[in-house]
Structure 1
């Protein structure tokens, strides 16, 4: 009997999803918030964010552009894997994508999650989504194995350093400009069971070290839970207001290190809310780009695939944490929510 593993025969981009029209906003948010104790008032508030942009989130189009860039890179690198894309919350949904993969005869796929940091919502929940999609498809569903998190890979760090330097030039000030690295806040009951904060701080440290930053900090944005539930802090706008009150800031650089693309939360929370606060206080603010489809980032994704396709392929990582695991331990990124009283 041949126990050799089935060869990898597909690549799967796994992402969050977003609406692409006003009539899709509420169904999308209902998918996102199903089973969560988020007040309806908060859902309507977030819906209004989307309506500022005609109900269109940029994330799906950015994923299409990333897929096209990955496909081009695979072709130039001789990686013979067809590409698929499935979302957690909006079309193309993971069950539909895995059903298509089954119809195409795919047996074993490598998956890249559009999240660079370990957490329940950024890793384990996606793996649960994939498991549920496989169950819905049935025995013909392909195996899906995630690629390692590459928060400290040169292909992520170096593009972010470039964007920081571009921001410094755009502000054109003498001295050390204050820099706030931003990431999505998560509940403390989630943060306590994962390496989210540790990985974020390592990425910030690596970017700051390469860019020569000394006046920087990590802050959070996009909190959505009830006020009684502790979430990671401090909030980016709170920090801007507090720092400016303590010592007037002339300029500020915001670096959305926790995001891979300029999607809705980056655009609304930073380009709208934080930018408005800075304008009110007379602070010249520049928001750096995310990695998006930067060639080094796309090359990094191809490298992660080669690590799995080619035994002995070099595994690159900067800093002290080394290469993250390929296979998640059974207790990795568990979520033990604390219910507000």
Structure 2
């Protein structure tokens, strides 16, 4: 029998089990579950890791090798695990600084250390009421629901579903701690180009995020809202990008002449399957025809400089800009910046204190997002709904 099987939200703490969108009563969590994507840490890990990522899709190894060369270019090592180790240490330090006595357990979906190991470790320590922080800020199947499904799967497969509960910190796409790095990066890049004598109307800002299948995108977020053709996933990115550019234009009026748009990267599906567009490199290629001479690429969809930032942006997008004769700057991700780490702990404190939604930090009109995902949120149309923690069924 699953924990809270009679509740509206399976696998949830009692405070979240009723299914209200915001948990506004304090919860005495025992620990924080840092949930990562995972990545290989050597050449021998690359194909097994990619098999994990694509499990259930029947993709042969020869096709996986087409993606593997991104990792092989960097010695088979993804930076993501080192980044999560650094984030775990930074979170522990910030929690200690604030006097919050909560251990941080780190587990990945696709490579060691696995989520299963982290949850077992927490249970062995007697920490059974967990609050998860997934290392992805937005609403979509791959960036939110898939984590929630993995929490449910892990609890069931370990037999801990009767004793351990997992709630999830809300999607944090518009929390000030997350967006601060992007604001600072765009401001510095635009200032730098202006100082070089490049006119504002010759500068293009491209906010880049991971493309997802269009069918998944339109199903992202609550189903009772018309989010437009890209669903809540695209709407969230657009809202944050607009906020960043509005702030910069307020501080530096000439920047109102700087053009910007949302672009996508890293698509991996078959050509016959529609994914969100336009592609970042395709847009860079056409910028000279728009009269641009400089491009600022902002990794808005990414929390840290992992492989898809290093390869797709620092390698491929940079090469596309060079071929187009454009000055190029790629701005920083939040990483382990002090503002971001403090922001994560602010999000933890929201749930520890039961902070009312009206008092929660956010920079766009879309926020604050929900603590408990709504019914039908972020469906994977190819696989259907599976049991998921931290949300109303299905």
Q: What range describes the TM-score normalised by the shorter chain of this pair?
A: over 0.9
Q: Is the counterpart of residue 108 in structure 1 residue 153 in structure 2?
A: no
Deviations, residues 254-283 of structure 1 (Å, cap 9, x unaligned): 000000000000000011111111112221
Could you say if the C-alpha distance between residues 169 and 193 of structure 1 is closer, same or farther in structure 2, counting changes exceeding 3 Å?
same
Q: Does 1:334 align with 2:379?
A: yes
Normalising by the residue count of structure 1, what TM-score does the alignment of the two structures yield?
0.94
Between 67-76 and 53-62, the greater mean CA deviation after superposition = 67-76
Unpaired stretches in structure 1, ≥5 consecutive residues: none
Q: Report what 2:280 is aligned to.
A: 236
Assess if the C-alpha contact under 8 Å between 1:84 and 1:97 holds in 2.
yes
CA drift of 1:311 comes to: 2.9
Highest RCO, 1 vs 2 (Cα 8 Å, sep ≥ 6): 2
Is 1:184–1:223's contact at 8 Å kept on the other side of the alignment? yes
Q: 2:247 aligns with which of 201, 210, 214?
A: 210
Question: Which of 173, 192, 206 is 2:218 aligned to?
Answer: 192
In structure 2, the partner of 1:166 is 188
Partner of 1:80: 101
In structure 2, the residue matched to 1:46 is 67
How many angstroms does 1:80 deviate by? 1.1
Match of 1:271 in 2: 314
CA distance in 1, matches of 2:140, 2:109: 15
**Could you say what secondary structure the match of 2:311 adopts?**
helix
Contact map agreement 1:42 1:224 (CA 8 A) in 2: no
Summarize the alignment of residues 114-153 of structure 1 with structure 2, pairs less than 5 Å apart. 114-139=135-160, 142-153=164-175
Aligned pair count? 335
| 1:4–1:116 CA distance, 2 compared to 1 (3 A) | closer
Cα distance in 2 between the residues matched to 1:217 and 1:183: 11
CA distance in 2, matches of 1:293, 1:4: 32
TM-score by length of 2: 0.81
CA contact (8 A) 1:109 1:142 kept: yes
Q: Within 5 A, what are the aligned runs for 1:301-320?
A: 301-312=344-355, 314-320=359-365
Any gaps of 5 or more consecutive residues in structure 2?
Answer: 1-12, 16-26, 221-231, 250-254, 384-394
Residue 41 of structure 1 and its aligned partner are, at CA, apart by 4.6
What displacement does 1:192 show? 0.9
| Aligned Cα root-mean-square deviation (Å) | 1.8
Task: Give, in whole Å, the separation in 1 of the partners of 2:52 and 2:241.
Answer: 32
Q: Bigger CA drift: 216-225 or 149-158?
A: 149-158
**Tell me, what secondary structure is at the counterpart of 1:178?**
strand
Question: Which has the larger displacement, 140-149 or 106-115?
Answer: 140-149
Shift of 1:331: 1.0
TM-superposition CA deviations, 1:32-80 (whole Å, max 9, x none): 0111265655411110110000000000001111111111111111111
1:324 and 2:369 aligned = yes
* Cα distance in structure 1, aligned partners of 2:277 and 2:79: 26
Q: Is the 8 A contact 2:206 2:261 kept in 1?
A: yes
CA contact (8 A) 2:128 2:165 kept: yes
Identify the match of residue 257 of structure 1 among 300, 325, 349.
300
The answer for the alignment partner of 2:177 in structure 1 is 155
Matched, 1:247 2:251: no
